[in-house]
Amino acid sequence: MQTRHRARRRIQWSAYFYILPAFIIIGIFHIFPVFYAVYVSLNKGAINRFTFVGLEQYARALSSNDFWNSLITTFVYALLTMPVTMTLALFFAYLLYQPFVKARGIFRGIYFLPYVVSTVGSAIVWAWIFDPRSGLANFILTRLGLPALRWLIEPDGVGLLIAQGLHLTIPTWLNGPSLALVAISIFSIWQSTGYDIVIFLAGLTTIPSELYEAARIDGANGFQLFRHITLPLLAPTTFFVIVISVIGSLQSFNHIFAMNQAASQSLGGPLGSTSTLTVYMFDQLYTYSNYGYSAAIAIILSLIILAFTLFNFKVLGKRSRY
Amino acid sequence: MAEIPQKRAPAPLTWLTQNLGQKVIYVILLAGAVWALFPFLWMVMSSLKSYAEASAAESFFPTRWLFSNYIDAWNQVGYFPQYFMNTIFIATATVAGVLITSTLAAYAFARMEFPGREVLFISLLATMMVPFEVTLIPNFILVRNLKWADQYQALIIPWTASAFSVFLLRQFFVSIPSDLYDAAVIDGCSDLRFLSSIILPLSRPALITSGLFTFLASWNSLMWPLLVTNRPEMRPIQVGLASFIGDAGTQIQLLLAAVTISVIPVIILYLILQRWFIEGIATVGIRG
């Protein structure tokens, strides 16, 4: 008994050997780079020939139209995708969760499938559906007697396009996001709804079924059950989904890159109308080799993400506890 | 009162009105399934059509099923077999690396006593909060300076450890009763042997989940391989697909056949291991 106790409490120096491999990799490729990124953002010039310029790259970003447009596009893209994805996901999760539904696992498996398949692969398929000349989307539109659209290569706003279709003139601030961005959003919603469904479904199963039975005995109808039991008790799950969706959509890159590429557009889409902050950063790095500048954009982006995450925890986090 | 039985009398209508709510819900669920599956079906169907038929988008099924498109895609489109093999190699090596480094680290954090354990664990978790954009540029510079550009090392080594996997496995290891450990220590079992012969066999679900997520992330990764590969024969499949969109642009049926081939391994893996995919995500979701 005595030895056994000592054996457990004794410091095991060999533990460092166990954590060493993971810490070498994470230290070199994930921790050190954070500090190095800050250093790079304070410099300009080519690799290994940096000149220190202080905060010049940050000032350059904040006074650049492209930067602000990308920032706005990032938020517009988040607003186009997040609410729709989450509402659809909650709706389908709630329907799937109904006790009488059979084959729940099969439905869930099918809904989740788009999330598993690579973004490049499914972007090629969706870009083909949105193809202006021979795509399925325009085929359906023309069959319905509607005009064919340019989808992924259309820089004009959806508001403007609708107004033109109705022969109206609207002020420019009503132009709205480009049709290209909306088409990419449709693709993104298709891909990520299943992921949210799985999380919502897991959250729904944690709600004790006695609560529903008790409320039903008290004469509550379906909507009341949803409004007064499901929604409040699901709040922690909803909060988690909001946090990861905000982080994910502020970083969106793959969908846009792949759709731009698949529609033979330059990075950022028609007239740059689909350039989010990450796309802008990548373009500055990949196309122009502006290391310092793109590092500064990356740091600004991570500060924005940090601010949103803290805001979510402060404001929503408190409300989501029950 | 007499009207009610009359209304219920015709059999087909009863079938329809009985549990109408349930039937509506099934219809909505089915519509959702069609929406999720349709692009894949459209992809497979288009990949089996002739070029003329594929670009007309008029019928769902091909009039002639051209399975030869798949052979043509494999042989004609860029370095397709090479992309495919590269990705299998890179993804497998990454999964092996992650499982080895994460198992060892998770075991130390779950079972061993050493100074700085808490601080090290928390700093490990903190790295999960860092957006990949921040580490991208320094890592690119580092890999260039190490002369790793266009080498497999660049695509594998930086991803062979994962804070997420360490966390997942550690949570699992902690839940294994410590009585087992005490008994093993009395029998003179070393930590490494205890880990390999008792902990690992018991941890299959957690190992499969973290291996699966690593494999998927590696197979589908795009931005990093774009940055560190220039030579076509070094590219993994996603970069390869993205780059030959232009080349194959006129031969959409071949491009879609290539996409179908690239998707098959992931879908097979998903069908076999669906449970772990979904449970893994659900667990992370509830814990978060």
Nearest C-alpha of chain B: how many angstroms from A169?
Answer: 34
| CA nearest to B81, candidates B236, B254, B218 | B236
For residue A251, the Cα-to-chain-centroid distance in whole angstroms is 6
Question: Do residues A246 and A82 touch, judged by C-beta distance below 8 A?
Answer: yes
* Separation CA B204–CA B200 (nearest Å): 7
* Separation CA A238–CA B93 (nearest Å): 36
Between vectors from CA B85 to CA B80 and to CA B86, what angle results, nearest 5°? Answer: 95
Interface of B with A in 69-128 (CB under 8 A): 97, 100-102, 104-105, 107-109, 112-115, 117, 120, 123-124, 127
Please provide the DSSP assignment of A221-233 as one string.
-HHHHIIIIIHHH
* The pLDDT of residue A173: 82
Lowest mean pLDDT among A63-77, A164-178, B135-149, B178-192: B178-192
Nearest to A12 among B112, B157, B266 (CB): B112
Q: Could you report the predicted ipTM of this complex, rounded to two decimals?
A: 0.87
pLDDT at A4 over 50: no
Q: What's the half-sphere exposure (Cβ side, CA atoms, 13 Å) at A170?
A: 17
* Span A162-171, average pLDDT: 88
Give whichever of A6-10, A168-172, A189-193 has the largest mean pLDDT: A189-193
Nearest C-alpha of chain A: how many angstroms from B1?
Answer: 26
| CA nearest to A280, candidates A293, A270, A263 | A293
* The pLDDT of residue A75: 95
Interface of A with B in 257-296 (CB under 8 A): 257-258, 261-262, 264, 278, 281-282, 285-286, 291, 294-295
Verify whether the Cβ–Cβ distance A36 to B138 is below 8 Å.
yes
Query: Which of A70, A84, A125, A265 to probe by mutation at the B interface, max B CB count within 10 Å?
Result: A125
Q: What is the mean pLDDT of each run of 10 residues along chain B (288 residues)?
A: 47 66 92 96 93 82 90 82 93 97 96 93 91 94 93 96 93 86 82 88 89 90 92 90 70 89 90 82 62
Tokens of A174: 């009503």
Nearest C-alpha of chain B: how many angstroms from A159?
Answer: 26
* The pLDDT of residue A1: 41
pLDDT at A6 over 50: no
Nearest to A202 among B57, B123, B285 (CB): B285
Task: List, in order, residues 6 or more apart from B240 with CB less than 8 Å away.
Answer: B78, B79, B80, B83, B232
* Separation CA A190–CA A194 (nearest Å): 8
Using the Cβ of A198 and the Cβ atoms of chain B, whether some distance falls under 8 Å is answered with yes
Question: Strands, E, within chain A: which ranges?
Answer: 43-44, 51-52
Map tokens 């319905």 to a residue.
A144
User: What does the pLDDT look like over A179-229, one tens digit per residue?
Assistant: 999 999 999 999 999 999 999 998 998 888 888 889 889 888 888 888 999
**pLDDT band per the 50, 70, 90 thresholds, residue A321:** low
Residues from chain B that touch A193, judged by Cβ atoms under 8 A, are 36
| C-alpha distance from residue A285 to each of A282, A292, A293 (Å) | 5, 9, 8
Verify whether the Cβ–Cβ distance B56 to A134 is below 8 Å.
yes
Question: Do residues B93 and B218 touch, judged by C-beta distance below 8 A?
Answer: no
pLDDT at A125 over 60: yes
* Separation CA B105–CA B50 (nearest Å): 53
DSSP A30: I
* The pLDDT of residue A74: 96
Verify whether the Cβ–Cβ distance B101 to A122 is below 8 Å.
no
Question: Which amino acid makes up residue A287?
Answer: T
* The pLDDT of residue B29: 96
Verify whether the Cβ–Cβ distance B259 to A201 is below 8 Å.
no
Residue B128: Cβ within 10 Å count: 12
* Separation CA A193–CA A197 (nearest Å): 6
Task: List, in order, residues 6 or more apart from A15 with CB less than 8 Å away.
Answer: B108, B112, B113, B114, B117
Residue A68: Cβ within 10 Å count: 12
**pLDDT band per the 50, 70, 90 thresholds, residue A107:** very high
pLDDT at A306 over 50: yes
**Phi, psi at A13, each rounded to 5°:** -65, -25
* Separation CA B101–CA B99 (nearest Å): 6
* The pLDDT of residue A72: 95
Tokens of A240: 């988690």
Using the Cβ of B60 and the Cβ atoms of chain A, whether some distance falls under 8 Å is answered with no
User: What does the pLDDT look like over A246-299, one tens digit per residue?
Assistant: 999 999 999 999 999 888 888 889 999 999 999 999 999 999 999 999 999 999
- Angle between the B20-47 and B252-287 helix axes, to the nearest 10 degrees? 140
Across chain A, mean pLDDT equals: 90
Between vectors from CA A123 to CA A118 and to CA A128, what angle results, nearest 5°? Answer: 140
Interface of A with B in 8-27 (CB under 8 A): 8-16, 18-19, 21-26
* The pLDDT of residue B247: 63
pLDDT at A113 over 90: yes
Verify whether the Cβ–Cβ distance A110 to B36 is below 8 Å.
yes
